[in-house]
Structure 1
């Protein structure tokens, strides 16, 4: 039996950018597989329904054309059904594609994935898991999650600047709160915001956990301690360069497991709303097979 792939198109991703390039992307992928089904979904529910029908057809690879929200749905499906995941970035953040070093342009990404498919180039990466949900990039709570929620509501500006604007807006209401972290190393109580990363990026390329690797079996934790607005304002210019780690209020650690007890903070994973704290998360080694460019590999 030949290689059977499906291209899951999320037309609304990137303010409609995915819909415009879907045909060109499919044309680039078809020569690399024996069968390519195009699944066009207008909603999360429809996307899940289309994906669920695919295993019965013997699906080998799911390729997602969209942003991080679409990638998040693909991760859930592929981790549960042992189907390989490929990504064609066409969203606002594209942080998972960035972490896997997939080219930023949809056509270039499709060409790179076609070469990888023809060469049988696959890798396994870790995923984070909490409750019944998998996450591939970053789990965040507190200030970071509030920023994510606001960024999702903004229509402009486009791209990473939307997250920068959300940060500045949320600063007006920011208050550090007491939290308790339970990790492999023990219990840590402090006033903080929290990020747990399986890969380095969130917010359209901010390396919040610069050393995070999706192949080390651990979650990287970046904790901003008791920092007021003035401290956060000083942190902002260095965020996109990863220079925030030098600030005395920032703590980093690694752990296979994490429990966060906090006062009903919002929680986001891969940029998607996941409710509120408390939460318990675990790193699951080699939980997902990904198609990555031959020229590059995840860390």
Structure 2
């Protein structure tokens, strides 16, 4: 976890606090907490408006509408996917943001210093609203060749993990976590290095790899420290490339990602850059765990792109 410093010079806009809540986050285990969390936010002296949405696309649209209609702040209750959807509406704006970790994976919130407990995180956000306090943090801005732009706060996966997610999303059976487990087995059987072209601040690098991640933050997938040295306040992206792993080696190295010690493996290379262009055939990226843009993409570290309520 990296320190996020306070920035007391930019006032929080007037207007209600818009709240996006995902009742299915974390398999619904925090569903009953929502009324208490809303009460805690209201204690900051601001009106609180719960956004209505039935799908992920509707949730993102509701956040953009709330910001356009004058929301003074945006709060997301859920996991990294919910946070990712919400931050699209406030990235690069003066509207501050508060992530309340209530999902299976809460990497962005934890990495930026929020308590893992939803109630405690809500109290931090409420105190920041009451005191008019925000803290700037970097985001990664990704752009495709057709001009589509997305933002992410944690990690972009563009290798084996992204391929597994894509496989799991296409499967109709089985349901739940077993579908992801089966997708891993299928893709392990098909494992092969792919040719990637990386352009790092203008320097071109070609590699054969099975794991590629570009981190604004250190972790993804609920605490896997894939980019262990990444700091979301340093204005840089950390790129981790796992080279020509065979199945046995990948299975052996994968558990080391939780501690971040995989970067010491001789087949792993790390880079740091402000701008990264990533090219490979047939890869759909996953940003903050959400299906995102097809390669090629250009990712740019954008300092102070998000104001956190801290």
The TM-score, its normalising length taken from structure 2, stands at 0.85
User: What is the deviation of 1:2?
Assistant: 5.4
d(CA) in 2 for partners of 1:164, 1:205: 18
User: What is the deviation of 1:48?
Assistant: 2.9
1:194-227 deviation per Cα after TM superposition (whole angstroms, max 9, x unaligned): 1000000101110111110111111100010111
d(CA) in 2 for partners of 1:285, 1:83: 16
Structure 1 range deviating more: 250-259 or 109-118: 109-118
**Counterpart residue number, 1:173:** 190
**Counterpart residue number, 2:274:** 256
- Size of the aligned set, in residue pairs, is 289
Residues 231 and 255 of structure 1: is their aligned pair in 2 closer, same or farther, counting only changes over 3 Å? same
d(CA) in 1 for partners of 2:134, 2:20: 19
Asked whether the 8 Å contact 1:93–1:202 carries over to 2, the reply is: yes
The one of 91, 94, 107 equivalent to 2:119 is 107
Stretches of structure 2 lacking an aligned partner (at least 5 in a row): 1-12, 144-148
2:165 pairs with 1:148: yes
Stretches of structure 1 lacking an aligned partner (at least 5 in a row): 293-299
Asked whether the 8 Å contact 1:68–1:94 carries over to 2, the reply is: yes
Asked whether the 8 Å contact 1:11–1:40 carries over to 2, the reply is: no
User: What is the deviation of 1:81?
Assistant: 4.1
Secondary structure at the residue paired with 2:86? helix
**Counterpart residue number, 2:104:** 92
Asked whether the 8 Å contact 1:257–1:281 carries over to 2, the reply is: yes
User: What is the deviation of 1:155?
Assistant: 4.9
User: What is the deviation of 1:18?
Assistant: 4.7
Asked whether the 8 Å contact 1:98–1:205 carries over to 2, the reply is: no
The TM-score, its normalising length taken from structure 1, stands at 0.88
Asked whether the 8 Å contact 1:18–1:65 carries over to 2, the reply is: no
The one of 207, 227, 230 equivalent to 2:248 is 230
Asked whether the 8 Å contact 2:162–2:285 carries over to 1, the reply is: yes
User: What is the deviation of 1:32?
Assistant: 0.9
1:143-194 deviation per Cα after TM superposition (whole angstroms, max 9, x unaligned): 1212333566775449xxx978865653222111111111126111110131
**Counterpart residue number, 1:247:** 265
What is the root-mean-square deviation in Å for CA atoms of aligned residues?
A: 2.3
**Counterpart residue number, 1:296:** none
Asked whether the 8 Å contact 1:28–1:114 carries over to 2, the reply is: yes
d(CA) in 2 for partners of 1:9, 1:18: 11
d(CA) in 1 for partners of 2:59, 2:247: 40
Secondary structure at the residue paired with 1:101? coil
